[in-house]
Amino acid sequence: MPPSILVTGGAGYVGSHTVATLLERDDNRYDIVVVDNLSNSYRSENEKKPEALRRIEDMTGSTIHFYANDIRDRAALNRIFENHEIECVIHFAALKAVGESVEKPLEYYQANITGTCTLLEVMREHGVTQLVYSSSCTVYGEPQKLPLDEGHPTGQGISSPYGRTKYFCEEIMKDLCASDQNWKVISLRYFNPVGAHGSGRIGEDPYGIPNNLMPFISQVAVGRLSELLVFGGDYPTADGSGVRDYIHVQDLADGHVRAIQLFQDPRFVGFQPINLGTGTGYSVLQMVAAFEAASGCKIPHRVVGRRAGDIATNYADVSLARQLLGWGASRTVIDMCRDTWKWQSENPNGYKN
C-alpha cells in the first residue's frame, strides 16, 4: 500500500487547492485520503464525492479516497487509519466564520477543539505523529508591532471565539509535542487566503452571503450582490480602509507541500508555528481597484462604519517560512484577482450546476 496523506476538511477551499497541488506534482508519492463532513462543501445528490474533489480527479487523473465523516466521530476516524497507511495529516477541518462564532461559541469550541483533540488521539493510537495544522494570524490578536513575526505574543486580545479555538489548539499541540518527542507539528498561520486555481475549475464557494472581502467583491462583479460595503474609512492607513496581507491560495497550497517535506528532515521535531503571507499589506480600496483592473468590471462600493472586531492593519514577516521551508509567495495581487474572477465568472453559482 502506498503511503497516504490524510487531509481533514479537504473538500473545502484551502483543502481542495492543497489536494490539487499535491496530486499535480510529478514527484507525488502519496495517496490522498480526505475526510470531510460536508458542513461547508458541496456534493451533488447523485454523487459519492464532493464536487471540488470530483473536479480535481478529473484535472489530475488521480483517485481521491473520500470519507463523508465528522472528525469527532472516533470510530469513523479509526476505520480510516485502519484502511490506509497514513504517514501524516493535514488538518483543515474546522468551522471558520468569525461572526457566527460569537453567536455560537460552544459549537465552535466543540467542532474545532474537540475535533482536533479526537484527531490527535486517534493519530497517537495509530502511531502517526506528523501534522500540519491550519492556523491563522488571528492568534496574534491586536498587533503590538508590524510586521507580525512568529515571536509576537499570541492569545492576547483575540476578538472572537473562532480565533481563540485556533490559539487553544496551538497550545494543546505545543503541550503534546513537549510531552512526547515523536510528534512533529507545523502550525501554518495563514494571513488572508484569496484567489483560486488557475484553471478556474476550483475556488472558494461560501454558503450564503460571503463574510470575507474577495468572495464578496467577486459576487458583486458577477451580479449576485449589488454593492460592496467598505467597512471603515477612518483607519490610520494611507486611504483610511483596512490593510491585510492577502495571499494566493495556490501559494498557500505550496506552503503545505513544503511543510510535508520538512517532516523528512530528521532534525525537525516538536511544535513549529510558521507565517504564510506575502509580507505586504493592501487596503480594501486597493483590492477593489486591483479587481477592477484584472476583471474589467466596475465594483460599486460605499464606505460605511467599521466592522466590530476588525483591526486596522496586519501583514506578516515571512522570513521564517523562507528559512525553514524554502518557501515564498510568488503570485501578485493581480494574479489573485484574475484567478478569483476566472473562477467566479466561469462558475457564477459556485459548484452548483
Contacts with ligand NAD, 17-36, as mask; x by CB under 6 A:
------------------xx
Binding flag, residue 38, ligand NAD (CB under 6 A): yes
What is the nearest approach in angstroms of ligand NAD to the Cβ of residue 261? 20
Does residue 213 interact with ligand UFG by CB under 6 A? Answer: yes
* Residue 252 CB coordination number (10 Å): 26
Q: Which is nearer to ligand NAD, 245 or 335 (CB)?
A: 245
String marking each residue 127-156 x if it binds ligand UFG according to CB under 6 A: ---------xxx------------------
CA pair distance 41, 207, nearest whole angstrom? 8
In the region spanning residues 55 to 114, those forming contacts with ligand NAD, defined by CB under 6 A, are: 70-72, 92-96, 111
Name the DSSP class of 114: I
| CB closer to ligand NAD out of 216 and 266 | 216
Q: Which residues ranging from 185 to 204 are in contact with ligand UFG (CB under 6 A)?
A: 192
SS3 at position 252: helix
In the set 108, 109, 133, 162, the catalytic residue is 162
**1 or 106: whose CB is closer to ligand NAD?**
106
Q: How far apart are CA 35 and CA 41, in angstroms?
A: 12
Judged by CB under 6 A, does residue 310 bind ligand UFG? Answer: yes
Q: Is 109 a catalytic residue?
A: no
List alpha helices for the chain, DSSP H: 13-24, 51-60, 74-83, 98-103, 105-108, 115-125, 161-179, 213-221, 249-262, 284-295, 319-320, 333-346
Q: Which residues of 95-104 are buried (b: 16+ CB within 10 A; e: fewer)?
A: bbbbebbeeb
255 binds ligand NAD (CB under 6 A): no
Q: Decide: 283 and 246 in contact? Cβ < 8 Å.
A: no
Residue 224 burial by Cβ neighbours in a 10 Å radius (0-12, 13-18, 19+): middle
Cβ-based neighbour number of residue 79 at 10 Å? 13
Please tell me whether residue 41 binds ligand NAD under the rule CB under 6 A: yes
Q: Of the two residues 206 and 270, which places its CB atom closer to ligand UFG in the complex?
A: 206
- Give least dist CB 243 to ligand UFG, A: 7
Minimum distance of ligand UFG from residue 313's CB (angstroms) = 9
- Which residues, listed in sequence order, are joined to residue 34 by a DSSP beta bridge? 7, 66
C-alpha cell at 79: 476505520
Q: Site for ligand UFG (CB under 6 A): which residue of 17, 49, 201, 244?
A: 244
163 binds ligand UFG (CB under 6 A): yes
Q: Of 73, 87, 85, give the one whose Cα is nearest residue 36.
A: 73
Pairing of the two strands 228-231 and 301-304 = parallel
Residues within the interface to ligand UFG (CB under 6 A): 96, 98, 136-138, 163, 192, 211-213, 216, 228-231, 242, 244, 284, 307, 310
| Catalytic residue set | 162
Residues within the interface to ligand NAD (CB under 6 A): 9, 11-15, 35-41, 70-72, 92-96, 111, 115, 134, 136, 190, 193
